[in-house]
């Protein structure tokens, strides 16, 4: 299996159940604006639940746990108000409700954070977007490898090959606590032919962002996780967002993740909450909450993390075709989600075993949505129906 995580699951839905127990929680107390804590740091905005009609969203996430998901959390913010709710169970054994402000694996939503830090370093003059990454990491790629620019790392036009690992879910489960270094991942990928010449087309993979994480560390002299904390988490008051490193657990309140596995002709759900994310450093390893993700997206789109020139890069698509022949939909750190109305939402989706997540917003930030679904086949080819219902309900709340 080539590790690429190349499905635009949310984008497909935008353009286009056997266990008992349900909880749908109303919004948390607070006001739909951000404030500052005693240290002067920003804190995530809370939701009052006023100003929006959540009926469609409540219907979208009810009935959990089900065959396709054991829990769901949603947060939607509009110009009129904000609503957040949750459904399902903390775990199948206790059937306790999903905790408020539960943490979850955000998968490839991590890429939006990584791209933001790289663009901050660009704004500081420490990195050039059109400079070959070989200048910063001179021994990473073979000497005769074609030049790969930093921009090509971030907009998936780099052509870097991904490692090939067994397809079997049983192999994945058996190796879920393996520890990888970024260098090991790159070396494993380079055993394969490159997908295309750098800059010729677009193909979504993790590899560009794994290298981008290495780039951050080389330029700053500090770990990727340290730079995330110093540059994004702490300034925005994101207390529940962190880089797990080699820790396979989810710290703090969270709902368990499960994966459907067929053994001996019988289907069972395996608890996959604990899983090393060292295979996706800077590309898909982070843990967060809905409130933190909403704050990050709001502040990013409002220009509070990046100067205008660098922020524009996140809303600019490369002028190439996708390897499948369609239009390029990935910018630096974000994904364009075209709607049938002609509007475009911008955001990012992600999936790790047991967890599917996404964030999306209008360019002016007047509509923002974030969800986490504890999908029982989060890495499967088909998007769960519940996420399609969530997306449709969110669009209807504008």
Please give the positions annotated as active site: 108
38 contact partners, CB below 8 Å, separation of at least 6: none
Q: Compute the 3-state secondary structure of the chain and give helix, strand, coil in percent, each to the nearest 5.
A: 30, 20, 55
The DSSP bridge partners found for residue 42 are 36
Residue burial 131-170, b: 16+ Cβ < 10 Å; e: rest: ebbbebbeebbeeeeeebbbbbbbbbbbbbbbbeeeeebe
Residue 287 to residues 109, 159, 253, 357, 372, Cα–Cα distance (Å):
10, 28, 12, 11, 11
CA 393/CA 388 separation, integer angstroms: 9
**Cα diameter, the chain:** 60
Q: Which two tokens stand for residue 145?
A: 């490898």
């Amino acid at each position: 299996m080539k590790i690429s995580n190349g499905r635009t699951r949310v984008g497909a839905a935008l353009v286009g159940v056997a266990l008992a127990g349900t909880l749908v929680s109303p919004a948390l107390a607070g006001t739909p604006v951000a404030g500052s804590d005693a240290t002067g740091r920003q804190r995530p905005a809370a939701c009052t639940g006023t100003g929006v009609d959540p009926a469609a969203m409540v219907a979208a996430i009810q009935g959990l746990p089900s065959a396709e998901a054991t829990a769901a959390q949603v947060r939607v913010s509009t110009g009129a108000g904000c609503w957040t709710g949750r459904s399902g169970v903390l775990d199948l054994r206790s059937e306790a409700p999903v905790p408020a402000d539960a943490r979850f694996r955000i998968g490839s939503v991590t890429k939006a954070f990584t791209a933001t830090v790289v663009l901050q370093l660009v704004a500081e003059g420490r990195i050039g977007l059109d400079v070959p990454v070989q200048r910063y990491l001179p021994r990473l790629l073979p000497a005769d490898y074609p030049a790969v620019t930093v921009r090509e790392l971030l907009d998936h036009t780099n052509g870097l090959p991904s490692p090939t690992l067994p397809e079997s879910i049983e192999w994945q489960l058996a190796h879920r606590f393996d520890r990888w270094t970024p260098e090991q991942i790159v070396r494993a990928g380079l055993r394969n032919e490159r997908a295309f010449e750098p800059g010729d087309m677009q193909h979504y993979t993790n590899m560009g962002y794994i290298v981008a994480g290495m780039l951050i560390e080389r330029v700053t002299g500090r770990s990727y996780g340290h730079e995330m904390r110093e540059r994004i988490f702490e300034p925005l008051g994101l207390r529940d967002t962190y880089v797990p490193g080699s820790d396979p657990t989810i710290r703090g309140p969270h709902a368990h993740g499960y994966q459907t596995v067929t053994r001996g002709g019988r289907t069972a759900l395996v608890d996959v909450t604990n899983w090393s994310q060292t295979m996706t450093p800077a590309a898909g390893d982070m843990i967060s909450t809905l409130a933190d993700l909403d704050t990050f997206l709001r502040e990013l789109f409002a220009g509070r993390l990046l100067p205008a020139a660098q922020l524009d890069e996140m809303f600019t698509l490369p002028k190439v075709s996708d390897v499948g022949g369609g239009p390029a939909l990935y910018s630096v750190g974000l994904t364009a989600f075209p709607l049938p109305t002609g509007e475009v939402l911008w955001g990012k989706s992600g999936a790790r075993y047991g967890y599917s997540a996404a964030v999306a917003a209008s360019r002016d930030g007047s509509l923002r949505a974030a969800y986490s679904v504890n999908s029982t086949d989060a890495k499967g080819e088909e998007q769960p129906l519940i996420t399609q219902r969530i997306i449709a309900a969110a669009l209807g709340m504008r």
